Amino acid sequence: MAGATANLEKIEGWDGQTSPMRASYGKLFMWFFLVSDALTFSGFLCAYGFFRHRFAGEWPDPQEVFHHFPFLHGKHLPLMYVGLMTFILIMSSVTMVLAVEAGHRKNRRQVLIWMFATIIGGFMFVGSQAWEWYNFIKGTDTGAVLYENKMYLYKVDHTTHAIDTTTLRFKGAELSKEESARIIASGEKFYGANLKHNEYGHIAFADFFFFITGFHGFHVFSGVIINIVIFIMALQGYMDRVGHYEMVEKVGLYWHFVDLVWVFVFTFFYLL
Amino acid sequence: MSEFHDPFPSYETMSQHDEAHGKKARRTLWNVFWLLLVVTIVEVIVGLYAVDWNLSKTFLKIFFIGFTLVKAFYIVYTFMHLGHESKWTKWVIIGPFTGFILYLIFMMVIGEGNYSMTKRLDEPAAKVEHVDGGGH
């Protein structure tokens, strides 16, 4: 409250009366947890950047991998679906922060409305990610050729996206027509990606994709669960009994962090 | 409120405000939302037309990472309310994080990462490990 804040400004930190942080134990430690979690994600993204740089020649172009959109099969629409996912997550971040703001006014009805919207947004995002994984694992219509445990990719025209099924590429270098024909004849078709093989390019791309977006998706899912718990607590009037809605603010911090991580994943995985 | 820390001030209720202040706060939040949305749309458009417009890789890296940091700043500062916390809270969160990130990037660029990049992965023994994975 305005009065309490004005009094607080007069109290000097470090004099034994009040904490220089001027924040509750719970909020402060939610922040510390998020700092450690942010460092975990930073480690992942640094490792991704390192591998990408190390195997630049054979690293798949994300726009050639993720170009699907629901109900528009066969159309080449890169960045559209992931842009929509980003929009959903930013939107749910806004509804979350509006719930926090309503909590500051102790308006239970608005807190419930906005938290409900956030939970819906969270489920939409997790569902979108499942669809993205499904397409990535299922693979393209043409696939690639697996021969002697090595992945040979078809040559792709980067402007027309036309696939030349008579010419193969290996480690970014094009093979001759004869060599390609021999490998196509004796190798087997491989579609999609798993942890061992990846039709789009270097295997580390698939590994990092599964690991980083999976870890992030798990964060989103746990965020939704925590949101539901806080929603039920608010519904039962717990926050009104203790006199403040700081729990909404704390779960809000976690939710915004999930959004923050996605902003970085979006940049490093899809844009760069 | 709680017996775990000093009863005054009650930190949990400090950020509470009235309707008039709430209206102002909500306007700021929506402004930040529009900013994030516009930045994301610009990023998607530039990502789509990067090849057509002949944009250099270096420019794209600086452009995307710069805009990402802008978005990150607004999310942390406004949505996570770090801008409204006390000076010390800001520092104990941003300080250690920045330190560790710089260390991580330093180790990646100059330390172990550079060693792996130039030496270890090119040795024959290490390469065998990567044939299955790297064979594309």
Measured between CA atoms, the residue of chain B closest to residue A2 is B17
Q: Is the pLDDT of residue A17 over 70?
A: no
Residues of chain B found within 8 Å of residue A11, distances taken between Cβ atoms: 9
Q: How confident is the model at residue A39 (pLDDT cuts 50, 70, 90)?
A: very high
- Residue A137 neighbours by CB distance under 10 Å: 13
Q: How confident is the model at residue B69 (pLDDT cuts 50, 70, 90)?
A: very high
Residues of chain A found within 8 Å of residue B6, distances taken between Cβ atoms: 17-19
- CB contact (8 A) between residue A83 and residue B60: no
SS (H, E, C) chain B: CCCCCCCCCCHHHCCCCCHHHHHHHHHHHHHHHHHHHHHHHHHHHHHHHCCCCCCCHHHHHHHHHHHHHHHHHHHHHHHCCHHHCCHHHHHHHHHHHHHHHHHHHHHHHCCHHHHHHHCHHHCHHHHHHHHHHHCC
Residues of chain B found within 8 Å of residue A161, distances taken between Cβ atoms: none
Measured between CA atoms, the residue of chain B closest to residue A19 is B6
Q: Is the pLDDT of residue B125 over 90?
A: no
- CB contact (8 A) between residue B101 and residue A43: no
Q: Is the pLDDT of residue B35 over 80?
A: yes
Residues of chain B found within 8 Å of residue A267, distances taken between Cβ atoms: 43, 64-65, 67-68
Measured between CA atoms, the residue of chain B closest to residue A54 is B117
Give yes or no for a contact between A264 and A213, defined as CB atoms under 8 angstroms apart.
no
- CB contact (8 A) between residue A260 and residue B5: no
Q: How confident is the model at residue B102 (pLDDT cuts 50, 70, 90)?
A: very high
Q: Round to whole Å and give the CA distance between A223 and A207.
A: 24
- CB contact (8 A) between residue A39 and residue B89: no
pTM exceeding 0.90 = no
Measured between CA atoms, the residue of chain A closest to residue B99 is A39
A253: nearest CB among B29, B68, B80: B80
Q: Where are the beta strands (DSSP E) in A104-222?
A: 144-147, 150-156, 163-170, 173-174, 188-190
Q: Is the pLDDT of residue B124 over 80?
A: no
What are the angstrom distances between the C-alpha of B65 and each of A106, A264, B26?
38, 8, 28
Distance from the B17 Cα atom to the nearest Cα atom in chain A, whole angstroms: 6
- CB contact (8 A) between residue A171 and residue B136: yes
The predicted-structure confidence for A144-179, as pLDDT tens digits, reads as follows 988 888 888 888 887 777 888 888 888 878 888 888
- CB contact (8 A) between residue B43 and residue A267: yes
Interface predicted TM-score (ipTM) of this complex, two decimals: 0.86
**What's the pLDDT at B13?**
82
Distance from the B90 Cα atom to the nearest Cα atom in chain A, whole angstroms: 9
The predicted-structure confidence for A234-248, as pLDDT tens digits, reads as follows 999 999 998 899 999
Residues of chain B found within 8 Å of residue A19, distances taken between Cβ atoms: 5-6, 11
Q: Which residues contact A22 (CB under 8 A, 6 or more apart)?
A: A8, A13, B9, B11, B14, B85, B86, B88, B89
Residues of chain A found within 8 Å of residue B121, distances taken between Cβ atoms: 54
Chain-wide mean pLDDT for chain A?
A: 88
Q: Which amino acid is at A220?
A: V
Cα A132 from chain centre: 11
The predicted-structure confidence for B109-122, as pLDDT tens digits, reads as follows 777 777 777 766 55
**What's the pLDDT at B120?**
62
Range in A6-20, A52-66, A67-81 with the lowest mean pLDDT: A6-20
Residues of chain B found within 8 Å of residue A13, distances taken between Cβ atoms: 86, 88
